[in-house]
Amino acid sequence: MTQPPNILLIQADQLCAQALPCYGNPVVKSPNIDSLAEDGVVFESAYCNNPICAPSRFSMLSGQHTSRIQAFDNGAEFPADIPTIAHYLRDNGYQTCLAGKMHFVGADQLHGYEERVTTDVYPSDHGWTPDWTRPEDRFDWWYHNMDSVRQAESCERTNQIDFDDEVGFCAVRKVYDLARSSDDRPFFLTVSFTNPHDPYACPKKHWDRYDHGAIDMPTTGYIPDQDLDQHSLRLRRAYLQSPDAVTDEQVRNARHAYYGQISYIDDKIGSILKALSDTGFDQNTVIVFTADHGDMLGEKGLWYKMSFFEESVRVPLIIKTPDGSDAKRLSCPVSLVDLAPTLLDISGSPRLESPAAPLDGESLVPLIEGGEGDAGRTVISEFFAEGSIAPCFMVRQGRFKYIYSQPDPPQLFDLEKDPLELRNLALLEEFEETARHMQEAVFAHQDPDAVRQSVLKSQKRRRLVFEASGKGRRTSWDHTPDCEASSKYMRNHLDLNEVESRARIPSKG
């Protein structure tokens, strides 16, 4: 019986598809990601299911929409009884390992991974919980602000560089350790970087790969408040954006640093791909590359994520099979909830037909192996975090995108004729039927009033738990990686000759 393939999932943070050469960017330099795209299946219209870190990741891993699992924001718990890709693959005979960020909130910091070789970059408690009962208030100690843009530069050490250096090193070492292991199970290795998430800063050698004058500026420029939708206005207030908050040169610096951060991550990916080649794993490993959400990067005068505009909600998704024979580009809409059923399908898991919990996505294997797929496929994204005051929903069907939130006027965009999303068609008579049909898709997906009540109750519970947990003795949920130093490298209960022979790659036989 042929062993199922190994699976390597690489995830970047806040990487918009439009920033990559394989999605048309003429400036960015990312040769290793380019090579994956050349030999893999590139999904040109892939979306996250919630444009903010933790909910997007929980949704991706579970294959369920965030409203179903109540993953409302970056302070929401990921319940331990929600099956994940790691649970399903482990149940099917895979060894599972996580290196890097996954932003798990709650006491369970593994969620099906047997091993987690780094801690996380973000806190695991409920501290980052918004408060919809006080929509005008800012939580200054964790909300975004415009300093990330104003302070953008080359920088040899940052919090994020420290973290991703560790993630890259541990991931490469794990690949070599898997090759030296006597465990013959296939592996599912997740490597998740925090770059190119803001703050926008990259090492000088990556900054210097770019001509500063060649850095492209936002296509749309700063759209005045009176011409912007209400949700975007709330986002601007949340991160203190205004017409004079940043200069054009600071915008260029931020985009320059962001591109450098992509090149920095691309180098890390190159090291992992080399390790796969060194060990021969490249012959039987499916590689998936994606991101949790995008970044507005100044388009329309917006930054970061939390928006349903393309730069924020559309993500890169590349799936490369070992021989690259399926290489193609597909334009039909897909989303990250499709990854769970896809990886179950690739691994041959019997759970695909009878999952332990509902799977909201569909396997992409028929698209990978076959043709273009259904252009009318429905993709849904949700948002309930800071900057919102009620549940927000996005529906993508064919060429149209529809955005709904009860307090605000609806939005409808024709992405073929209006890729910059500058003309709202929702209230035009000729598009009345399209808008009605897509609004029905929102209501068929969820009851916005019921979800709003769930969010408010969840926020209230979590605020109390967080405040109480900070009084008196504090017990952390943050993950601390295990390290058995007594069995690492050479110790006197081991045979030096065996240690050295076992550690060599390639082996001397």
Among 371, 369, 404, smallest CA distance to 388 is for 404
Instruction: Compute CA distances 325 → 7, 328, 379, whole Å.
Output: 17, 9, 27
Cα maximum dimension of the chain: 81
DSSP E strands: which ranges in 237-365? 285-291, 314-315, 317-320, 328-330, 334-335
Q: How far apart are CA 178 and CA 96, in angstroms?
A: 11
Catalytic-role residue among 53, 170, 202, 332: 53
Whether the bond between 21 and the residue before it is cis, its omega within 30 degrees of 0, is: no
CB-based contact 413:400 (threshold 8 Å) = yes
DSSP letter at 502 equals: H
Q: Which two tokens stand for residue 482?
A: 């295990």
DSSP letter at 30 equals: -
Q: What is the CA radius of gyration of the chain?
A: 23
CB-based contact 419:410 (threshold 8 Å) = no
Q: How far apart are CA 335 and CA 348, in angstroms?
A: 21
CB-based contact 319:342 (threshold 8 Å) = yes
Q: How far apart are CA 164 and CA 171, in angstroms?
A: 10
Single-letter amino acid code for the residue at 134: R
CB-based contact 460:75 (threshold 8 Å) = no
CB count within 10 Å of CB 275 equals 20
Catalytic-role residue among 16, 22, 87, 103: 103
Whether residue 103 lies in the annotated active site? yes
CB-based contact 301:241 (threshold 8 Å) = yes
Phi, psi of 66 (to 5 degrees): -65, -30
Q: How far apart are CA 184 and CA 438, in angstroms?
A: 48
Q: How far apart are CA 58 and CA 347, in angstroms?
A: 20
Q: Which two tokens stand for residue 30?
A: 């990312």
Single-letter amino acid code for the residue at 476: S
Phi, psi of 69 (to 5 degrees): -100, 10
Whether residue 126 lies in the annotated active site? no
CB-based contact 379:44 (threshold 8 Å) = no
CB-based contact 90:114 (threshold 8 Å) = yes
Q: How far apart are CA 292 and CA 306, in angstroms?
A: 12
Residues designated catalytic: 53, 103
